[in-house]
A = this chain, B = another copy of it.
Amino acid sequence: MERVSIRDVAREAGVSITTVSKALNDYPDVSPETRRRVSEIAQRMNYVPDVAGRSMGGITEKVIGLLLNDLTPTDPSGAVFGILSGAYHACADSGIDFVLLTTNPGSQEETSLKRLCLSKRLDGIICNGFRLHDPYLEQARQLDLPCAVIDVEMNDPRIVDVSIDNVQAADEAVTFLLGCGCRAIALINGSARADVSLRRGRGYAQALTRSGLPVRPEWTVDADFDMDSAYHAAVELLRQYPELDAFFCASDVMALGVCQAIEEAGRKVGADVMVVGFDDIPTARYMYGGLTTVRQDFYKMGYNAGMAVYRQIQGQKPADASVGLLHELVIRSTAHGG
């Protein structure tokens, strides 16, 4: 596509490029008539200043990157999409450029986070999908750049943590199951390498302990947030421990696999065995008569993360981005009182 440069506009308008630049950048020292004529001509010629040129001239847009650890082909829970959309809109609302970046365990070894940020000229970064011990997580602490990390408790004054209170959320879910009369509750957890799994496991244990119930390690399975793994785990648990009367699952997607296993075992979900999921994915209310689950708002997580990074770029101190990030136990059919 043929690009029109500032010289072309200047020639057409019969002025210098200085004047074109000033007219288009709202400098006061340009006659109204000149400004009008120049903008009119620039518009007509479809002149769009070259970003590289502008950048060299000293004008750069701020840019925030959303760094996704592994962009998978599919996003069953919609978590990544929600975060992406939220971060994007936070940038749009702040007049900041948004750029999508991805990495994976392999490329984390190749290129340092710092070089990645440098090459994309980032002014701030949001990290999502990182596992404990991922190299970039540690590098984020050394990064001299506004940074928000989603779903990993970094405990670093320079980094904004963005996540719901997962311990509390899991505690509430399990406490609810106990209130429903359940006494043998299994935990189908996400990957042990994910910080949220640790926290949800803690909430689960905390609720049981408070009720004077033992925490039986054999009733906790790491199903890596995977539907099929959860299904198989539940099949096995139900076979070995027929006394199980409830499953708390660290994601709705895993809850689906668990529900299927329960039904295949000839038991009735929500009656014989209760199930609570996590996330409240868009289709949750249509599954198994309505999945009882812990809702979290991924869009808002992304949005808050974007805004928190933006504020830091503006020089404000990193506000607590988890404020207003509330979870909510949504009671439907797969687990319910009375």
A residues whose Cβ falls under 8 Å from a Cβ of B: 1-3, 46, 48, 50-53, 55-56, 60, 71-76, 78, 80-82, 84-86, 88-89, 92, 98-100, 102, 112, 114-115, 117-119, 121, 143-145, 227, 253, 256-257, 259-260, 281-283, 286-288, 299
Contact = CB atoms under 8 A, between A and B. Distances in A.
Given A56-B52, A118-B48, A286-B287, A88 B73 contact: no
A213 to B, nearest CB: 30
Contact of A81 (B74, B143, B282): B74
Nearest to A48: B118
A51 B86 contact: no
A286 B299 contact: no
7 contacts: A1-B145, A46-B118, A50-B55, A74-B282, A74-B299, A76-B78, A283-B283
A78 B48 CA distance: 35
Nearest to A122: B1
Contacts of A288: 286
Contact of A283 (B3, B100, B145, B281): B281
A137 to B, nearest CB: 18
